[in-house]
Structure 1
Amino acid sequence: MFAGLPELGISNGEDLKETLTNCTEPLKAIDQFQMENGILLPTLQSALPFLDLHGTPRLEFHQSVFDELREKLMERVAVIAEGKEEDRYRKLEELLEKSFPLVKMPSIQPVVMQVLKHLPKVPEKKLKMVMADKELYKVCAVEVKRQIWQDNQALFGDEVSPLLKQYIVEKEAALFSSDLSILHNFFSPSPKTRRQGEVVLKLTQMIGKNVKLYDMVLQFLRTLFLRTRNVHYCTLRAELLMSLHDLDISEICSVDPCHKFTWCLDACIREKFVDGKRARELQGFLDGVKKGQEQVLGDLSMILCDPFACNTLVLSIMRNLQELLSQDALPRDSPDLMLLLRMLSLGQGAWDMIDSQVFKEPRLDLEVVTRFLPAMMSVVVDDHTFTVEQKLPSEEKSSLSYPTTLPESFNRYLQENRVACEMGLYYVLHIAKLRNKNALQRLLPALVETYNDMAFGDIFLHLLTGHLTLLSDEFGSEEFCSVVFDGFLLTSFSSKENVHRHTLRMLLHLHHKVLPSCMETLMKTLDPPKQCSEPLKELYTQLTEKMEAQKKSPPPTDETPSLDLGLHPVTVPTTASTPTTPL
C-alpha cells in the first residue's frame, strides 16, 4: 500500500515499526516521528490540541487535508496542461518523475493518472510499465491508452474486437426484431440517431484525434468484411467517419479521402432520396479519383455497400423509373438513373474489389438498362392495363386475364446480375406496399432463384415480412397462402434457418389471419429440427402458445345486426278499415 515512499525519502509503516522496536521510550519516539513526518507548518502544532479536545482523530484531520491538497494538485495539473507556457509539458514530466514511484498507492494514483492523461507524449518507459501492469492499464485514461495502442495493434485489436461483435449482434437483432411494421423497420432510424449507438460512441472516443488508430479500425473492418461478407461492417465504416465529422475532428476528416463523399451520401440517406444536385456532387467525387489514387475506390465501394446507402440508391432508382414512365422516356436517356446504377454497381462490387485488390470501377452491364429495365417496366404496364380493363363497362371488357408468367429476360437477370436482382427485389417490395395482390402472386415465385440467393437474405426478408402485413386479409385465401409459403418461403426454410425464423416472425403477427387449414399444415412443417438455434425454438414456442391462447378464447363471431329499431308496438283502435297488427 505504501510502496514507493522510501524511494522519495519519506518514512512509511515499516520505518515506524523499526523505530518502535529499537527505541527505549516509545512515546517520545512517536512524537519524534509525528514531528518529522507531519505537516510542516509551525502554527499548526499549537492548533492540533484543539482538535484533540473536540475528539477529532488526527487521522481524520490529516486525511481531509490530504484529500483537499490532492484535488488542488489535480486541478493545477489540468490548468498547467491547458495553459500557453512553452515549458508546461516539461513541468508535468518533472512532476511525473517525482510521483510515478507512488503509482501503486491508491491515494496518490489519481494524481499520477492525471499527469499521464495530460501529457501528449508519455515517456516510453512509463508507457511500458503501465501496459505491463493489468491493474494500472485498466485504470489509466483513454488518452494514455491511445498512446499505448498506436504501437500495439494486437492489444488495440483485443479492445476493439468485442465492440465489433456487439455491433453485428445489435444489427442482426434489429433484423429479427419482434416488431413487424412497414413504418418502423430496419431502415427507419435516421443516420444521426444510429451514430448515437453505444459501439459507435465508444469507438469514436477510443480513436479521439489519432489518425493511426482510425486507420487500424478501418483495416479491422476491411478484414472482417472480407472474412465474413457481412455488409454491416460497411455501415460501421460510414457511421464512424460521420461520428468523427459530427465532433468536428478535422485531424481525421481532412485526411480521409472519402469524407466529403460520405457526408453528401449521408444527407441523401437522411432524405431517403438522391436528388439531382447531390447526384452531380457524388458524380464529381467519383470522376475526381486521380490516377495513382485508385485505392480510394475500395473505401468508396465499402461506403456504397452499406445497406442504408444501397436502400437509398434503389429507392431513388424506383422513383426515377416512375418519372420516366410518366414521361414516356427510356432509362438509357436519363443521366441521373445511369449515375444511380453506377453507384449501386460500385457498392455491390465492394467485396470483389477489396478481395482482388484491383481498384477499378466495375463495368455496368448495359443490358441491365436496355433489356432488364424494359422487361420490368413491361410488368408494370401489364398490371396497369389489367387494372384499367377492370374499370371498363362490362360490354367493353375483353376476356383478358391477369398474366401469370414473367418476361424471360426479367427472370434471367434476377438470377445472373446482382444490380438487376437488387432492383427486382425492391420492385417486389414496391408492389407489396401498393397492396397489389395479383402482381405479388405473379412475382414471388420468381424470387426462388435469384443472384447469390439475395431474396433469402435477412434484409430483404425483414422488409418483405413487414410489407406483407399490409396484405394481412389476403392470407385468408388459399391461393395467396400457397404463393407466399409454398411458392416462396418454404422452398428454402429447411436449408436456411434465417428463412425459417423470418417465416415464424411473420406468423406470430398474422396467424389469426391465415386460413386455419393452411395454418395447421404450416405448424407441422415449421416444427424446428432438433439441431437448431435457441432463437428459432423460442419463436416456435411463442407461436404455439399464441395459437393455444387463441383456441381457448376465440374472437367473438360477428352476429347479424338486428333490424329492430327499438320502437314499442302501439295498439291502434280497431275500425272496419284498419288492421289490428301492432306497429
Structure 2
Amino acid sequence: MFAGLPELGISNGEDLKETLTNCTEPLKAIDQFQMENGILLPTLQSALPFLDLHGTPRLEFHQSVFDELREKLMERVATIAEGKDEDRYIKLEELLEKSFPLVKMPSIQPIVMQVLKHLPKVPEKKLKQVMADKELYKVCSVEVKRQIWQDNQALFGDEVSPLLKQYIVEKEAALFSSDLSILHNFFSPSPKTRRQGEVVLKLTQMIGKNVKLYDMVLQFLRTLFLRTRNVHYCTLRAELLMSLHDLDVSEICSVDPCHKFSWCLDACIREKFVDAKRARELQGFLDGVKKGQEQVLGDLSMILCDPFACNTLVLSTVRNLQELLSQDALPRDSPDLLLLLRMLSLGQGAWDMIDSQVFKEPRMDLEVVTRFLPAVMSIVVDDYTFTVEQKLPSEEKTSLTYPTTLPETFSRYIQENRVACEIGLYYVLHIAKQRNKNALQRLLPALVDTYNDMAFGDIFLHLLTGHLTLLSDEFGSEEFCTAVFDNFLLTSFSSKENVHRHCLRLLNHLQQKVLASYMETVMKTLEPPKQVFYRKLTEFQNYEMHYLNAWPKRCVFNLDLNRKSVSEPRTLSGRLFQSLGAKCEKALPPLVDFAILGTIKSPAFCDLRERDGL
C-alpha cells in the first residue's frame, strides 16, 4: 500500500512501526513523526487543536486535504498538457519521474495515470513497467495503451481479437434473425447507423490517430478474410475507415489511398444506387492507380467485396438493365453498366487477389455483357409480354402461355461466372419484390446449381426469405410451395445446415399461410435424424437445467378448491408446449426444431428467460 515512499525519502508505515518498537517514549515518538511528516504549514499547527475540540479525527482531515490536492493536481496536469508552453512536456516528464515510484499506491495512482495519459511519448522504461504489471496495464488509459500496442503486435492482437469475433457473431445473428421483412433486413441500416456499433466505436477509439495501429488492424482483417473467406471482415474494413472519416482523423484518412474511393462509395451505399456522377468519380479513382502502386487494388477489392457495396452495385446493375430495355439499347452501349460490372468483378476477385498477391484487375468476361445480360433482358421481355397479354380484352388474347424454360446462356453463366451469378440472384430478388409468381417459379429451379453454391449463401437466403413474405398468400398453393421448397430450398438442406435454418425461419413466419398438407410433409422432411434430435434435445435440456435452481416452483391458482393446484412446467420447452396448446400442434415441430437447432440464444428465447427471471 505504501510502496515507493522510501524512494522519495518519505517515511511510511514500516518506519513508524520500527520507531515505536525501538523508542522508550511512544507518545513523544508519535508527536515527532507527525511533526516531520504532517502538512508543513506553520499556521496549521495552531489550528489543529480546534479540530480535536470538534471531534474531527486527524485522519479524516488529512484525507480530505489529500483528496482536494489530488483533484487540483490532476486539473493542473491537464491544463499544462493543453497549454502552448514549449516546455510543457518537460514539466510533465519531471512530474512523472517524481510520482512514478508511487504508481502502485491506490491514492496516488490516478495522478500518475493522468500524467502518462497526457504525454505524447512515454519513456520506454515506464511503458515496459506498465506492460509487465497486469494491474497497471488494466487501469492505464487507452492513450498509454496505444504506445504499448504499436510496438507489441501480439498484445494488440489479443485486445482486438474478441472484438472481431463479436462483430462476426453480430452479423451472423442479423442474418438468422427470426424477423422476416422486406423493409427491415440485413441491408436496412444506413452506413452511419452501422458505424455507431459497439465494435466499430471501440476499434476507432483504440486506434485513435495512430497510423501504425490502423495498419495492424487492416492486416488482421486481411489475414482473417484470407483464412475464413468471411466477407463481413470486408465490411468492417470499410466501416472502420469511414468511422475515422466521420471523426475527421486526417492523420489516417490522408495516408489511406482508399479513403476518397470509400467516401464516394459510402454515399452510393447510403442511396443504394450508383448515379452517373458518382460512377465517373469511382472510375477516376480506379483509373488513377499508378504503376508501382497496384497493391492498393487489394484494399479496393476488399472494400468492393463488402456485401453492402456489392448489394448497391448489383441493385444499380438491375436498374440499369431496366433503363436500357426501355430505351431499346444494348448493355455494351452503357459505360455506367460496364463500370458497375468492372467493380463487381474486382470485388468478387478480392480473395483470389489477396491470396495470390498478384495485384491486377481481373479481366472481365465480355460474354457476360454480350450474351448473359441480353439473356436476362430476354427474360424480362417474356414477363412484360405475358403481363401485357393478360391485360388485353378476351377477344384480343392469343394462346400465349408463360414460358417454363430459361435461355441456356442464363443457366450456364450463373453456374460458371461469379459476376453473372450475383446479377442472376438479385434479379430473382427483384421479381420476388414485384410479386411475380410466374417468373419466380420459372427461375428458382435454376438456382439449384450456381457458381460456388452462391444461391445457398446466408445473405441471399436471408433476402429471399424476406422477399417471399410478399407472396405469403401464394403458399396456399401446392404448385408454389413445390417451386420454393422441393425445387429449390429442400434440394440442399441435408448437406447445408444454414439452408435448414433459413427454411425454418420461413416456415415459422408463414406457418398459418402454408398449405396444411404440405406443411406436414415439409416438417417431416426437415425433421433431423433421431440420434441428432435426441442429442440436440439433451443439450437444450441441460442448458435449461443450468438455471433450474434459480427458478422458483410456481403454482397456477385454481378457483375449484376441490382440485389440486397445477404446477407450472419448470422448463422452457415444457412451458412452450403448454402455452401453445393443441391448436398449434401441427405448427409446433418447426418451432421446436428452430429452437433446438442452434438457436437457443435467439432473441425470442432470451426474452422468455428474462421474463421469468432467469
Is TM (by shorter chain) over 0.5? yes
Q: Does 1:208 align with 2:208?
A: yes
Q: Equivalents in 1 of 2:10, 2:61: separation in Å?
A: 20
Counterpart contact for 1:167–1:199, Cα < 8 Å: yes
Q: Equivalents in 1 of 2:22, 2:602: separation in Å?
A: 107
Q: 1:285 is matched with which residue?
A: 285
Q: Equivalents in 2 of 1:215, 1:557: separation in Å?
A: 46
Give aligned-pair identity as a percent.
91
Counterpart contact for 1:301–1:350, Cα < 8 Å: yes
Counterpart contact for 2:445–2:483, Cα < 8 Å: yes
TM-aligned CA distance change 1:546 to 1:256, over 3 Å: farther
Q: Equivalents in 2 of 1:220, 1:346: separation in Å?
A: 21
Q: Equivalents in 2 of 1:20, 1:419: separation in Å?
A: 86
Q: Equivalents in 2 of 1:241, 1:225: separation in Å?
A: 17
Counterpart contact for 1:504–1:543, Cα < 8 Å: no
Q: 1:366 is matched with which residue?
A: 366
TM-aligned CA distance change 1:554 to 1:92, over 3 Å: closer
Q: Secondary structure at the match of 2:324?
A: helix
Give the CA RMSD over aligned residues: 5.6
Counterpart contact for 1:504–1:539, Cα < 8 Å: no
Counterpart contact for 2:4–2:101, Cα < 8 Å: yes
1:360 CA drift (Å): 0.5
Counterpart contact for 1:507–1:543, Cα < 8 Å: no
Q: Equivalents in 2 of 1:560, 1:508: separation in Å?
A: 13
Q: Equivalents in 2 of 1:561, 1:31: separation in Å?
A: 66
Q: Equivalents in 2 of 1:557, 1:297: separation in Å?
A: 47
Counterpart contact for 2:175–2:462, Cα < 8 Å: yes
TM-aligned CA distance change 1:135 to 1:307, over 3 Å: same
Counterpart contact for 2:348–2:418, Cα < 8 Å: yes
1:541 CA drift (Å): 13
Matches within 5 A, 1:378-397: 378-397=378-397
Between stretches 222-231 and 392-401, larger displacement belongs to 392-401
TM-aligned CA distance change 1:561 to 1:344, over 3 Å: closer
1:397 CA drift (Å): 2.0
Larger radius of gyration: 1
CA-to-aligned-CA distance 1:146-181 (integer Å, 9 cap, x gap): 000000000000000000000000000010111100
Counterpart contact for 1:160–1:203, Cα < 8 Å: yes
1:528 CA drift (Å): 3.0
Q: 2:260 is matched with which residue?
A: 260
Q: Secondary structure at the match of 2:591?
A: coil
Q: How many residues align?
A: 558
CA-to-aligned-CA distance 1:282-335 (integer Å, 9 cap, x gap): 000000000000000000000000000000001111111111000000000000
TM-aligned CA distance change 1:56 to 1:214, over 3 Å: same
Counterpart contact for 1:191–1:269, Cα < 8 Å: yes
Structure 1 residue ranges without an equivalent (≥5): 563-582
CA-to-aligned-CA distance 1:41-78 (integer Å, 9 cap, x gap): 01111111111111111101000000000011111111
1:90 CA drift (Å): 1.0
CA-to-aligned-CA distance 1:7-38 (integer Å, 9 cap, x gap): 11100111111111111111111111110000
Counterpart contact for 2:200–2:240, Cα < 8 Å: yes
Q: Secondary structure at the match of 2:111?
A: helix
Q: Equivalents in 2 of 1:241, 1:155: separation in Å?
A: 22
Counterpart contact for 1:505–1:539, Cα < 8 Å: no
CA-to-aligned-CA distance 1:344-364 (integer Å, 9 cap, x gap): 111011000000100000111
Q: Equivalents in 1 of 2:305, 2:389: separation in Å?
A: 42
Counterpart contact for 2:523–2:590, Cα < 8 Å: no
Q: Secondary structure at the match of 1:555?
A: helix
TM-aligned CA distance change 1:544 to 1:88, over 3 Å: farther
CA-to-aligned-CA distance 1:411-463 (integer Å, 9 cap, x gap): 00010000000000000000000000000000000000000000000000000
CA-to-aligned-CA distance 1:537-574 (integer Å, 9 cap, x gap): x99999999933xx699999999999xxxxxxxxxxxx
Match of 2:583 among 543, 546, 552: 546
Counterpart contact for 1:501–1:539, Cα < 8 Å: no
Matches within 5 A, 1:218-367: 218-367=218-367
1:399 CA drift (Å): 1.7
- The TM-score normalised by the length of structure 1 is 0.92
TM-aligned CA distance change 1:171 to 1:336, over 3 Å: same
1:398 CA drift (Å): 1.9
Q: Equivalents in 2 of 1:560, 1:365: separation in Å?
A: 43
1:392 CA drift (Å): 2.1
Q: Equivalents in 2 of 1:473, 1:520: separation in Å?
A: 18
Counterpart contact for 1:303–1:347, Cα < 8 Å: yes
TM-aligned CA distance change 1:254 to 1:554, over 3 Å: closer
TM-aligned CA distance change 1:528 to 1:218, over 3 Å: same
TM-aligned CA distance change 1:543 to 1:561, over 3 Å: closer
CA-to-aligned-CA distance 1:241-279 (integer Å, 9 cap, x gap): 000000000000000000000000000000000000000
1:386 CA drift (Å): 1.3
Q: Equivalents in 2 of 1:556, 1:313: separation in Å?
A: 36
1:87 CA drift (Å): 1.1
Counterpart contact for 2:368–2:420, Cα < 8 Å: yes
Counterpart contact for 2:81–2:118, Cα < 8 Å: yes
TM-aligned CA distance change 1:299 to 1:554, over 3 Å: closer
Q: Equivalents in 1 of 2:484, 2:589: separation in Å?
A: 26
Q: Equivalents in 1 of 2:252, 2:482: separation in Å?
A: 54
1:527 CA drift (Å): 1.5
TM-aligned CA distance change 1:386 to 1:544, over 3 Å: farther
Q: Equivalents in 2 of 1:413, 1:540: separation in Å?
A: 48
Q: Equivalents in 2 of 1:9, 1:497: separation in Å?
A: 69
Q: Equivalents in 2 of 1:488, 1:518: separation in Å?
A: 15
Q: Secondary structure at the match of 2:603?
A: coil
1:82 CA drift (Å): 1.1
1:489 CA drift (Å): 0.3
Between stretches 246-255 and 391-400, larger displacement belongs to 391-400
- The TM-score normalised by the length of structure 2 is 0.87
Matches within 5 A, 1:484-563: 484-529=484-529, 547-548=584-585
Q: Secondary structure at the match of 1:556?
A: helix
Q: Equivalents in 1 of 2:448, 2:428: separation in Å?
A: 13
Q: Does 1:415 align with 2:452?
A: no
Q: Equivalents in 2 of 1:552, 1:399: separation in Å?
A: 42
Counterpart contact for 1:508–1:543, Cα < 8 Å: no
TM-aligned CA distance change 1:14 to 1:161, over 3 Å: same
Counterpart contact for 2:3–2:105, Cα < 8 Å: yes
TM-aligned CA distance change 1:409 to 1:136, over 3 Å: same
Q: Secondary structure at the match of 2:589?
A: coil
Q: Equivalents in 2 of 1:63, 1:530: separation in Å?
A: 69
TM-aligned CA distance change 1:552 to 1:395, over 3 Å: closer
Q: Equivalents in 2 of 1:169, 1:557: separation in Å?
A: 23
Counterpart contact for 1:332–1:369, Cα < 8 Å: yes
Counterpart contact for 2:492–2:499, Cα < 8 Å: yes
Q: Equivalents in 2 of 1:172, 1:44: separation in Å?
A: 66
Q: Secondary structure at the match of 1:525?
A: helix
Q: Equivalents in 1 of 2:568, 2:461: separation in Å?
A: 20
Q: Secondary structure at the match of 1:362?
A: coil
Counterpart contact for 2:375–2:410, Cα < 8 Å: yes
Q: Secondary structure at the match of 2:590?
A: coil
1:390 CA drift (Å): 1.7
